[in-house]
């Protein structure tokens, strides 16, 4: 049985007319001889609207109740899409995450998939039905509804494809992966093929087309991902092992930027490794994703530690620091909410020296200060004042030929 898992994002099913077009695309794949499983996100801005409703009731909604609320969004889109398919003469059935027993951890709003029961899906496919599944959601062993976090429908699609031994196609409102978000870098180039490693870096650092966890999971199971446009036949991008076939000619594959992070600088920490263990250990226990980290020992033997976290986790991080401050009144911290986190990514950096020097030279020549920086074999990530984001993207994009040649 030749199975394909297709995922359609919220913009792809944003209206009933778009849902009908998606149904036609699914039917075309079915006519090519595939058994089709479809993962669908909530319609358009539905999730944002549901979050707004919750915030109108309380400033700090209970995570469990948020999951109860947010899982309703996908239920609307899967039922409408299934109706559209049936009306066009193709048998179809819809399932929520809990109905399929997409088993997750118990961390509300940040759950991770543990396993998927595929018997219902296989039974439906064997009966020649198109299967439409709600992305982004699952259920715990205790039958508690959970959500996987923003972009979790990508993860749902990859997990189900891996479990079914199927191919996987991600459809969205853009026609592939670009060297940079075209809304931020004019004339950004589309990438025909990119490696799992590069895509994971770009996804984790702000490239919104793919979700980091989905690419991580695809890499684990060596599952190639095709990313393309829902409403055009323009060739998209393949995410797979090895990346570009012309890697030697490309030092930097792409760039990403994000305004969703903040920088916290903790002052007057005791200068011992146990301080770092305590600080980041507690952050990890609260599932706060700490990214960039730098530290400095002062002349008086104290330690300053600076790091970045998602803006949404500020209250959790400050709660941890306030508890510590009760034990040590000298502890202080500063929060910078006006930063842009920018990264350049490329497998070619492993074999080409001087990339970091070139980036820093560009910034120095334009009097743009770096707040914090971190590097790896295939990426350089740094934070600058938010007001410089657009200029930095343009300068680096042109310097590393991330734009379409004139």
The tens-digit pLDDT sequence of the chain (406 residues) is: 899 999 999 999 999 999 999 999 999 999 999 999 999 999 999 999 999 999 999 989 999 999 999 999 999 999 999 999 999 999 999 999 999 999 999 999 989 999 999 999 999 999 999 999 999 999 999 999 999 987 799 999 999 999 999 999 999 988 999 999 888 998 999 999 999 999 988 887 766 688 888 999 999 999 999 999 999 989 999 999 875 554 445 689 999 999 999 999 999 998 888 999 999 999 999 989 898 999 998 888 889 999 999 999 999 999 999 999 999 999 999 999 999 999 999 988 888 888 999 999 999 999 999 999 998 889 999 999 999 999 999 999 999 989 987 6
Query: What order of strands is seen across the sheet that includes strand 254-258?
Result: 254-258, 339-345, 379-385, 372-375
pLDDT of residue 8: 97
- For residue 207, the model assigns a pLDDT of 67
Tokens encoding 314: 């500020």
- Residue 133's closest CA among 39, 217, 57, 239? 39
State the pTM of this model: 0.84
The pLDDT of residue 6 is 98
Q: In Å, how far are 161, 261, 359, 381 from 374, measured between CA atoms?
A: 34, 15, 13, 5
Q: How many helices (H) and strands (E) does the chain have?
A: 12, 22
CATH 3.30.450.40 fits 3-173, yes or no: no
Answer whether 93's CB lies under 8 Å from 82's CB: yes
Looking at residue 206, its pLDDT comes to 64
CA-to-CA separations, 281 to 284, 309, 310, 314, in angstroms, rounded: 5, 14, 17, 16
pLDDT at 248: 47
CA separation for the pair 168, 268 (Å, rounded) = 50
Q: Are 258 and 205 in contact (CB under 8 A)?
A: yes
- Domain map (residue ranges) of the chain: 3-173
């Amino acid at each position: 049985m030749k199975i394909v898992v297709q995922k359609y994002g919220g913009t792809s099913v944003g209206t009933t007319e778009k849902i009908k077009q998606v149904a036609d695309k699914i039917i075309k794949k079915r006519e090519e001889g595939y058994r089709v499983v479809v993962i669908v996100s909530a319609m358009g801005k539905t999730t944002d609207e549901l979050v707004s409703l919750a915030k109108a009731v309380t400033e700090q909604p209970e995570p469990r109740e948020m999951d109860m609320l947010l899982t309703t969004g996908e239920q609307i889109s899967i039922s409408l899409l299934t109706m559209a398919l049936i009306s066009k003469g193709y048998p179809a059935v819809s399932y929520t995450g809990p109905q399929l027993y997409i088993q997750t951890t118990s961390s509300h709003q940040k759950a991770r998939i543990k396993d998927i029961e595929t018997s219902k899906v296989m039974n439906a496919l064997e009966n020649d039905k198109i299967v439409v599944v709600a992305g982004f959601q699952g259920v715990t062993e205790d039958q508690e509804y959970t959500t996987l976090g923003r972009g979790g429908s990508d993860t749902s699609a990859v997990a189900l494809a891996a479990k079914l031994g199927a191919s996987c196609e991600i459809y969205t409102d853009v026609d592939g992966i670009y060297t940079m978000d075209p809304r931020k870098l004019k004339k950004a180039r589309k990438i025909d093929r990119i490696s799992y490693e590069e895509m994971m870096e770009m996804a984790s650092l702000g490239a919104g087309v793919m979700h980091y966890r989905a690419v991580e999971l695809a890499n684990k199971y060596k599952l190639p991902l095709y990313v393309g446009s829902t409403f055009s036949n323009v060739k998209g991008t393949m995410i797979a092992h090895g990346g570009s076939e012309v890697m030697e000619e490309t030092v930097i594959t792409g760039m990403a930027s994000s305004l969703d992070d903040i920088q916290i600088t903790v002052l007057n920490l005791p200068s011992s490794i146990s301080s770092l263990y305590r600080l980041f250990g507690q952050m990890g226990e609260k599932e706060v994703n700490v990214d960039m980290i730098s530290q400095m020992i002062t002349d008086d033997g104290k330690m300053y530690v600076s790091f970045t976290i998602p803006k949404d986790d500020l209250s959790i991080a400050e709660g941890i620091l306030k508890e510590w401050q009760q034990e040590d009144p000298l502890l202080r911290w500063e929060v910078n909410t006006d930063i842009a986190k920018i990264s350049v990514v490329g497998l070619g950096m492993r074999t080409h020296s001087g990339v970091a020097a070139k980036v820093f030279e560009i910034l120095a020549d334009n009097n743009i200060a770096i707040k914090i920086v971190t590097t790896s074999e295939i990426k350089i990530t740094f934070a600058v004042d938010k007001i410089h984001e657009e200029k930095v993207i343009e300068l680096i994009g042109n310097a590393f030929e991330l734009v379409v040649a004139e």
